[in-house]
Amino acid sequence: MPSQPLVVAAGVVKSYSSGNAVVRALDHVDVSIEAGEFVAVVGPSGSGKTTLLNCLAGLDDVDAGTVMIDGVVLGQSSDADRTDQRAETMGFVFQAATLLPAFTAQENVALPLLLTARSTREARRAARDALAQVGLGDRTDHYPAELSGGEQQRVAIARALVKRPRLVWADEPTGNLDTTSAAQVLSLLEELHAGGATIVLVTHDRSIAARADRVIEVLDGRVLAPVTAAPAASAVAFGGTALAPPAEGAVERS
């Protein structure tokens, strides 16, 4: 029997209301992501990328439709179960590094491990290893304020990978970074991917998106590009339309 996709979203609707206005951030979205894929989600600001990521990852509830991860429909398990599943199998990287300012780099990275049953000593050692892996072995005792933006983001990635997640959600992780730091962060995500992890990366940068296996294009709360693992085929099918650029980027790379 063929294995089912790791993430399946069907008919997902998500609206926000503030004051009198209701914004339909996701308008009947279907998405399917295979285990081991590196998927980029692209689209202009306000198109619904963050909302999509948050709904797929179970950080946010959907108004209608379903999201299934690893065969489990989100929202049917209790919040406690969901938190457990997130902590065990997923890693998150956000645009701002979201480090705790009162804790050192090593302590920030060790925190997710302290939620589970490991010893503090083991957590600290794993945190040191993860920081070395992102090239910050000599910054373990620095506080976030003593690190550059790029270094802070690499600490955040170390924190995301310290539990060796099978699924990594990254929302514009290079958005605030200079070119060199952005390249380092992207390389780290590619390493995680090479190690077998599934990566879902939100970006508005097409050159970054072109490095993914596949591009999901979001516009006005809808997914534009067909969900396909064959960029060459989609370039043929959609050549000359607004959907062509991500496919072209992917083709150039191969």
The verdict on 174 binding ligand ADP (CB under 6 A) reads no
Single out the residue of 7, 49, 67, 235 in contact with ligand ADP (rule: CB under 6 A).
Answer: 49
46 binds, among ligand ADP, Mg ion, none (CB under 5 to 8 A by kind): ligand ADP
Q: Does 108 contact ligand ADP by CB under 6 A?
A: no
Q: Is the separation of the CB atoms in 139 and 104 below 8 Å? A: no
The CB-of-176 to Mg ion minimum distance in angstroms stands at 12
For residues 35 and 219, which CB has a smaller minimum distance to ligand ADP in the complex?
A: 219
- The size of the interface with ligand ADP (CB under 6 A), counted in residues, is 12
Window contacting ligand ADP (CB under 6 A); options: 45-53, 100-108, 118-126, 225-233: 45-53
Burial classification of residue 241, based on how many CB atoms lie within 10 Å of its CB (0-12 exposed, 13-18 middle, 19 or more buried): exposed
Give the closest residue to 223 by CA, choosing from 21, 5, 31: 31
Phi, psi of 86 (to 5 degrees): -60, -50
Q: Tell whether residue 203 is a contact of Mg ion (CB under 5 A).
A: no
Residue 112, binding choice from Mg ion, ligand ADP, none, Cβ under 5 to 8 Å by partner class: none
CA angle (87, 154, 99) in 5-degree steps: 60
3-state helix, strand and coil shares in percent for the chain, rounded to the nearest 5 = 40, 25, 40
Nearer to ligand ADP, 107 or 217 (CB): 217
Six token digits for residue 203 = 């970006």
Q: Which is nearer to ligand ADP, 24 or 125 (CB)?
A: 24
50 in contact with Mg ion (CB under 5 A)? yes
H or E stretch at 207: helix 206-209
Q: Which residues bind ligand ADP (CB under 6 A)?
A: 16, 18, 23, 25, 43, 45-51
